[in-house]
């Protein structure tokens, strides 16, 4: 018998269509299209269903289509050995297709967007093209033949009703997007011969709860498990040396991850949005952690950064609400913008001694750029040390537990949103050296009651510097000689009360100080657990002078 490909052909433009050789009625009563070239098989693209820019079947097939093992044309019998590209593209009314044992290959997009609910691929098939079952949204059951060595790119992409699939051990590679959007898939086996997972292989498999990755796998590609929201556990084999960006993005149910020793870089957003991730092990050898690598890992209570780390990306641990302390190794020489933004439960920020670029001088619990004396990021227990000249953008952004802050002499500028939305902040002391307070620095500080500004010359501010501050109930304390200037200058003039500062005097002096006492009153009778402003206070009936 001469060989023949069965195909229902397509073209991207009608002008480039190649003709089929003949049609024949299948055992199921459907007219199918065939192409031959002497005794050899050829591929021809001519007809698809439901595609306005392409030629369509005169009578689109419906129901169960049976592909014959052979067809006869002009007295010659041809063996059907292949299903051509786009053969049944868009045939939504086709619910099942019977493939004969004579077929050994299925071309690209062969069954794309059909209405098939199940299909048996015969063991004779050794080759399947990309996207063969793309967006077969009704498909619930499929077998993969044991002689197949490759699951091609996007083979089952968009098969949203497919609950399970058994990949035979013969398979040595799984292409990118292979199971993308298989939202009903609950489990999948990966054969031992597979050595890597490609781009978005299991992305958006939202029902997937666990995956066993074989020891032979050396790389996990970008977006490999992106948005697998029910994935609880994942074993990352010890031979893995590369994990791509967004690999586990928004795997909200993932509880733990152990990164293998061979991995040297944690890429951008690798574990971003893994809100249940409570434990992660980052091995020695990792030199960089990318932008938003652990963003939103709100259950993460501690993390140990390896001594090998040199680069920490911006927002790397943003919104990790469970973190209470962080230690930055001495070899870190590059830190991106606000790696711990909105980590408002942080109590301790320590930079290891010996770091040549950053420091946390004097146990101040802040991240400081040494060369510029810029405070980059603080926490609820930060005591801003002397020598600092600048408070950087959003340094204390959304630090909700922060109740009082004293900005020391020498600081000249505070930038965009430095204390924005510090909603528990009640008292701020601004030094005489301050010249510039940027937009939104104190925006949303809705508990602010006292601002102590020591500057004789009014610092430059912006319209939103004190946006949403309760001016009517807040008091501005300024040098007596500058009161009139502050009263005439917005936004300072908006404060409900503007009063002179008390005269600063000496260090803490006390007539018989009481050990452990934390009850202070200023000369106006206001109580404070710990004074933040220089002046004279009463503690346990005794005078205390604070410089």
- DSSP track, 45-99: ---BSS-TTS-B-SS---EEEE--SEEEETTEEEEEEEE-TTTTTT-TTEEEEE-
Beta strands in 378-424 (DSSP E): 390-391, 404-406, 413-414
> Helix, strand, or coil here: 400?
coil
**Banded pLDDT at 412 (limits 50, 70, 90):** very high
The CATH number of domain 404-500 is 3.80.10.10: yes
| Distance from chain centroid for Cα 34 | 48
- Residue of 26 and 363 predicted with greater confidence: 363
Can you give the pLDDT at residue 85? Answer: 87
What would the two tokens of residue 33 be?
């299209």
Ranges of each domain in the chain: 404-500, 509-546
Whether the CB-CB separation of 82 and 107 falls below 8 Å is answered with yes
| Distance from chain centroid for Cα 200 | 14
Can you give the pLDDT at residue 23? Answer: 82
337-to-292, 301, 422 alpha-carbon distances in Å: 10, 22, 19
DSSP one-letter code for 492: G
Q: Is the bond into 491 cis (omega within 30 degrees of 0)?
A: yes
> Helix, strand, or coil here: 4?
strand
- % of the chain at pLDDT higher than 70: 84
493-to-412, 445, 489, 501 alpha-carbon distances in Å: 21, 17, 5, 16
**Banded pLDDT at 66 (limits 50, 70, 90):** very high
> Helix, strand, or coil here: 211?
strand
Whether the CB-CB separation of 70 and 80 falls below 8 Å is answered with yes
pLDDT at residue 463 greater than cutoff 60: yes
Q: Is the pTM of this model over 0.75?
A: yes
N-to-C CA span, the chain: 104
Residues 6+ apart with CB under 8 A from 515: none
- % of the chain at pLDDT higher than 90: 75
Can you give the pLDDT at residue 544? Answer: 64
């Amino acid at each position: 018998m001469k060989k023949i490909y069965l195909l229902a052909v397509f073209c991207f433009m009608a002008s480039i269509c190649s003709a089929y050789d003949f049609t024949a009625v299948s055992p199921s009563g459907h007219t199918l299209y065939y192409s031959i070239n002497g005794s050899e098989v050829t591929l021809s693209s001519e007809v698809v269903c439901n595609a306005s820019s392409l030629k369509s079947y005169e009578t689109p097939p419906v129901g169960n289509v049976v592909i014959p093992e052979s067809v006869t044309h002009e007295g010659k019998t041809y063996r059907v050995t292949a299903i051509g590209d786009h053969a049944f593209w868009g045939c939504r009314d086709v619910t099942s297709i019977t493939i004969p044992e004579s077929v050994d290959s299925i071309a690209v997009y062969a069954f794309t967007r059909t209405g098939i609910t199940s299909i048996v691929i015969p063991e004779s098939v050794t080759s399947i093209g990309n996207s063969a079952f793309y967006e077969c949204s009704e498909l619930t059951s499929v077998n993969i033949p044991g002689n197949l060595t490759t699951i091609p790119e996007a083979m089952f992409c968009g098969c949203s009703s497919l609950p399970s699939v058994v990949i035979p051990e013969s398979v040595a590679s799984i292409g990118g997007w292979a199971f993308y959007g298989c939202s009903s898939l609950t489990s999948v086996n990966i054969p031992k011969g597979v050595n890597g997972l490609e781009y978005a292989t299991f992305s958006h498999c939202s029902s997937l709860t666990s995956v066993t990755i074989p020891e032979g796998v050396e790389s996990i590609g970008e977006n490999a498990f992106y948005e697998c929201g029910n994935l609880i556990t994942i074993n990352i084999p010890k031979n893995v040396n590369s994990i791509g960006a967004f690999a586990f993005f928004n795997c909200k149910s993932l509880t733990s991850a152990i990164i293998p020793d061979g991995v040297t870089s944690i890429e951008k957003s690798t574990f971003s949005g893994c809100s249940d991730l409570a434990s992660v092990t980052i091995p020695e050898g990792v030199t960089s952690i990318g932008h938003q690598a652990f963003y939103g890992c709100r259950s993460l209570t501690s993390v140990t950064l390896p001594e090998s780390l040199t680069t920490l990306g911006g927002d790397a641990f943003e919104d990790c609400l469970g973190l209470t302390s962080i230690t930055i190794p001495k070899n870190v020489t590059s830190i991106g913008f606000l790696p711990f933004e909105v980590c408002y439960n942080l109590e301790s920020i320590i930079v290891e001694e010996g770091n040549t670029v950053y420091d946390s001088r004097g146990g101040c619990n802040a991240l400081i750029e040494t060369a510029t004396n810029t405070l980059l990021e603080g926490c609820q227990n930060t005591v801003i040390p002397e020598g600092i000249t600048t408070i950087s953008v959003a340094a204390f952004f959304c630090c909700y537990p922060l109740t009082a802050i004293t900005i020391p002499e020498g600081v000249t500028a505070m930038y965009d949103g430095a204390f924005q939305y510090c909603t528990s902040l009640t008292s701020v002391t601004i030094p005489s050296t301050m010249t510039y307070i940027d937009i939104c620095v104190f925006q949303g500080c809705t508990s602010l009651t006292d601002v102590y500004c020591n500057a004789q010359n009014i610092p430059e501010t912006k319209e939103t510097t004190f946006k949403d501050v309760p001016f009517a109930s807040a008091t501005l304390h300024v040098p007596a000689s500058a009161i009139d200037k502050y009263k005439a200058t917005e936004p300072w003039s908006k404060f409900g009360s503007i009063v002179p500062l008390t005269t600063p005097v000496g260090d803490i002096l006390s007539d018989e100080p009481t050990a452990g006492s934390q009850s202070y009153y200023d000369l106006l009778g206001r109580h404070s657990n710990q004074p933040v402003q220089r002046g004279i206070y009463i503690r346990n009936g005794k005078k205390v002078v604070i410089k």
